Structure 1
Amino acid sequence: MKSLNPPLFDVTHTVEVCASGITIPERAQALLEALPVFRATEAQYRELGLTGQLFLLEESDAVTPAVDVDLMGVIYKSHFARKGSPSRALYEQIRMAPEYGICPLCGQRTVATVDHYLPQTRYPKLNLTPANLVPACSDCNKQKLASVPTRAEDQTLHPYFDNLGQDRWLVVEVQASSPPTIIFGVRPAAEWSPVLASRVHHHFRMMGLGGLYAAQAASELADISYSLEDVGGSAGADGVRQHLHGQFRSRYARDANSWKTALYEGLRDSDWFCTEGYRLIRIRRA
């Protein structure tokens, strides 16, 4: 759930570079002759993307009579994304765009591929459109599959068009248990529209972010359990809270809505955790 600057090149460039590496003359020519369709669809895509209405784009099974959905799949896989092809450099620019190589859809795992925001099997006119090509980890790519929204509320977030800002929206609930139970959730920002709020909730569910972040949080708690017990033993609950606040500030300064920011904020604000919960992280064996 990170925003990214869109690629600096357009579909004209990707098609021309891709065609330059196709050794079958008829295929390369058919791709180049389809440029007017690609350009028109790209313009419509950008316009609808800016208003959060990509769900309004019509599906199709072909680009032109000479270029159908199956051929576009072959062109993407065997030419555009193929290692050693002239257009592979463009693919890599998109894949490597996120900071530290972290997937913008989950903000946690490493980017492994380039995903079609609108699936290539249903929108072949967008197969080579840079604005439709998003860096993603393998898990997020699989979670999204080829689903197509029919309402604005059912759209996942688009890194090139959606920016959630710096307001705190990812939050944690700490439940009293041994070990403590950490539950992640979405708290919509005041300035979000109802549609955007629904989209963030939908993205959170579809990408399985609650479970992903909870697993990471459990590991993080295990890592800090000894230090919290040391702080609690010498400075009590106030010392634990101050320690957690320092960790929160450090994470917040880098990313206001990382799972670690939310975790340390939730732990800090939990009286139960600061008083006794931190002592229940490690399972004591008799």
Structure 2
Amino acid sequence: MRSLSYKRVFDRSLLGSVIAHYKSLASISAQIKIAYREYVLKKGSPSIIPIEIDTVQRAEFENAYSNKPIGAGLSWISELYINGLNSCPFCGGDGARTIEHYLPQASYPEFSVYSLNLLPSCGSCNSKRNSLNAHGAATSPLHPYFDKHILNKLNAYTVVSLDCGVIGFYLSYDHSPFTEEEQFRIDYHMEISLDETSYINRTLDSLETLRISSEKYSTPMEFRTEVIDDQIYISERKKDYNSWHHALCKGLANLSDDELQIIFGDSFGARASAPSLGRLRNLTP
């Protein structure tokens, strides 16, 4: 979960090329321009009243997004897939390999090829939200462009529980910087975006990677300094804020040395006492 920097696309200028290519849209060009302006003024709110369009115009919008023709000036949409994001800006999960319509096409076809409405996300959280942000929705998820004031203060972390010797996880965040209204939006965003199964599996995978790293260190203190703190630093230097791996490392950093000993105790120092792979190869006849 993180904010994104907007790569400027001059949508109003490109609209002429879109209309020249999809001529049925010419009769509503003025309404589209007004809708684009309202999107900015209302920050993508689902309270925006959709344009009234016919079935032909709806199909044209769908074709424009699906085909992304160069002649209509829409080839830039394909570039959104190549974004260098290691985690989804909406949920913090791996990658951002799909393009999401923040206001869904079903409710708002006029924003089908509007750059501010097209955002990289992962497939699972995109599907999970589906049409929950349709026209009339009472609350909307955080917008990576318009909600920077919230997202840039958001400090999400994984709460690691040790009940009855069983490790459990859930995603939380530091509530202190936010008003009640902002907390409500964050909670809603996490509820409709987070795929619990994907989150648990990815967190378990990260934990296993960290467990293997812990084999090099004799004590929780060493492991905390050399691995956990370093992983937090790397994530933040990469601007991979609030990814699930970043959240897990922050959660582990909140634990005491005794709690880290419970989680990783059998692994500490294991690599020092075991023969290295190179030594094993040398012993092979």
- TM-score (norm. length: structure 2): 0.78
The whole-number CA distance in structure 2 between the counterparts of 1:196 and 1:208 is 18
For 1:111, which of 96, 99, 118 is the aligned residue? 96
Alpha-carbon distance change, 76 to 93 in structure 1, aligned in 2, over 3 angstroms:
farther
Task: Identify the residue that residue 36 of structure 1 maps to in structure 2.
Answer: 30
Q: Deviations over 1:29-87 (max 9, x none)?
A: x31232110011111110010xxx71321245x24xxxx2x334321332343055423
Task: Identify the residue that residue 54 of structure 1 maps to in structure 2.
Answer: 45
The residue identity in structure 1 corresponding to 2:78 is E
The whole-number CA distance in structure 1 between the counterparts of 2:160 and 2:109 is 46
Alpha-carbon distance change, 165 to 130 in structure 1, aligned in 2, over 3 angstroms:
closer
Q: Is the 8 A contact 2:128 2:192 kept in 1?
A: yes
For 1:203, which of 174, 182, 189 is the aligned residue? 189
The whole-number CA distance in structure 1 between the counterparts of 2:57 and 2:266 is 56
Task: Identify the residue that residue 156 of structure 2 maps to in structure 1.
Answer: 170
Q: Which runs of 4+ in 1 moved over 6 A?
A: none
For 1:245, which of 196, 204, 229 is the aligned residue? 229
The whole-number CA distance in structure 1 between the counterparts of 2:221 and 2:86 is 37
The whole-number CA distance in structure 1 between the counterparts of 2:168 and 2:214 is 17
Q: Secondary structure at the match of 1:171?
A: strand
**Which structure 2 residues correspond to residues 67-146 of structure 1 after superposition, within 5 A?**
68=54, 70-82=55-67, 84-86=69-71, 87-96=73-82, 98-100=83-85, 102-146=87-131
Task: Identify the residue that residue 254 of structure 1 maps to in structure 2.
Answer: 238
The count of residues paired between Structure 1 and Structure 2 equals 261
Alpha-carbon distance change, 142 to 71 in structure 1, aligned in 2, over 3 angstroms:
farther
Alpha-carbon distance change, 245 to 93 in structure 1, aligned in 2, over 3 angstroms:
closer
Task: Give the CA deviation at 1:184.
Answer: 1.6
Task: Give the CA deviation at 1:167.
Answer: 3.7
Unaligned runs of 5+ in 1: 23-27, 282-286
Task: Identify the residue that residue 283 of structure 2 maps to in structure 1.
Answer: none
Task: Identify the residue that residue 284 of structure 1 maps to in structure 2.
Answer: none
The whole-number CA distance in structure 1 between the counterparts of 2:188 and 2:229 is 30
Alpha-carbon distance change, 73 to 188 in structure 1, aligned in 2, over 3 angstroms:
farther
Cα-Cα RMSD = 2.9
The whole-number CA distance in structure 2 between the counterparts of 1:265 and 1:140 is 23
Task: Give the CA deviation at 1:2.
Answer: 2.5
Task: Give the CA deviation at 1:7.
Answer: 4.6
Q: Is the 8 A contact 2:3 2:152 kept in 1?
A: no
Alpha-carbon distance change, 77 to 273 in structure 1, aligned in 2, over 3 angstroms:
same
- TM-score (norm. length: structure 1): 0.78
Task: Identify the residue that residue 205 of structure 2 maps to in structure 1.
Answer: 219
The whole-number CA distance in structure 2 between the counterparts of 1:133 and 1:196 is 23
**Which structure 2 residues correspond to residues 272-283 of structure 1 after superposition, within 5 A?**
272-279=258-265
Alpha-carbon distance change, 179 to 246 in structure 1, aligned in 2, over 3 angstroms:
farther
Task: Give the CA deviation at 1:277.
Answer: 1.6
- Report percent identity of matched pairs: 19
Q: Secondary structure at the match of 1:172?
A: strand
Unaligned runs of 5+ in 2: 268-285
